[in-house]
Chain A
Amino acid sequence: DIQMTQSPSSLSASVGDRVTITCRASQSISNYLNWYQQKPGKAPKVLIYAASSLQTGVPSRFSGSASGTDFTLTISSLQPEDFASYYCQQTYSTPMYTFGQGTKLEIK
C-alpha cells in the first residue's frame, strides 16, 4: 500500500506569513495528489487536485506543486480563516484513496 507522510504534523504561524506543508508518497504517484482543508467540526473541503490545479472558488493564495514523490501545499499570505487542518490524499492507487495524517495550522 502507498503511504503518505505529511510534515510538519503541526505548525504555528502568523497572519500574513507564507506557509508550506509537505506530503511525501512512499512510491511514485505521478500527480495523483489532492489537498483538503478541514475546520473543526466541519467536513473537509478540496483545495487542490492533480497536485497543482486549484479547485473552483478557492483563493489564489493557495497553490500546490510536485517534485518526484514530494508534494507541497503553499499558502502565500495566511489569512485568519486559513487556520485549520490540512490533509493530502493520493488517488493513484485506486481504490485505496489514502490520506496523509494531517497538519494542524495554528495561530502563533
Chain B
Amino acid sequence: EVQLVESGGGLVQPGGSLRLSCAASGFTVSTNYMTWVRQAPGKGLEWVSVIYSGGSTNYADSVKGRFTISRHNSKNTLYLQMNSLRTEDTAVYYCARASWIQQFYYFDYWGQGTLVTVSS
C-alpha cells in the first residue's frame, strides 16, 4: 500500500528555518517525480516544488532561492528545507507523488499534511 507521512512542521519565527520530511512506503521515491504543495489557511492549493527521478528540481517563484527539495534514497524519504521563512509561508504542506499516463501528469498519492506557522 502506498503511503506518504509528513513530519517536521511547527511554529517558527520570521527569518527562521524548518525542514519537512515525507516518509514514503509502498513505492520508491527515487524512481518517481515527487512534489510539495501547500495550502494557506482557508485558501487554495499552491504548487511549491518538484524533484524528478533524475534528480533535477524546480520551484515556484514564491519560494525560489529560499526552499530546497531533496531526497534520501536509502531512507525513501523526501525533504523540503525552508529558509528565510516569511509569514506568507504559513500553510499546510503536503507531499505528493506525481504519476503519468502517456504524457499526462497528475498527483495520485498525497500525505496527510504538516502545518507550518511562521509568526513572531
Contact = CB atoms under 8 A, between A and B. Distances in A.
A91 B58 CA distance: 14
Contacts of A44: 37, 45, 94, 107, 110
A98 B110 contact: no
Given A97-B47, A99-B44, A101-B44, A43 B101 contact: no
Interface in B47-87: 47, 50, 58, 60
Contacts of A55: 106, 108
A62 interface: no
A98 B106 contact: no
B45 A99 contact: yes
The B interface, classified by DSSP as helix, strand, loop or mixed, is: strand
B9 interface: no
A67 interface: no
Interface string B107-120: 11011110000000
A96 B47 CA distance: 7
B35 interface: yes
Interface in A20-52: 31-32, 34, 36, 38, 42-46, 49-50
B104 A32 contact: yes
B107 A46 contact: yes
A11 to B, nearest CB: 15
A99 B47 contact: yes
8 contacts: A36-B107, A42-B112, A44-B45, A49-B104, A55-B108, A87-B45, A101-B44, A102-B44
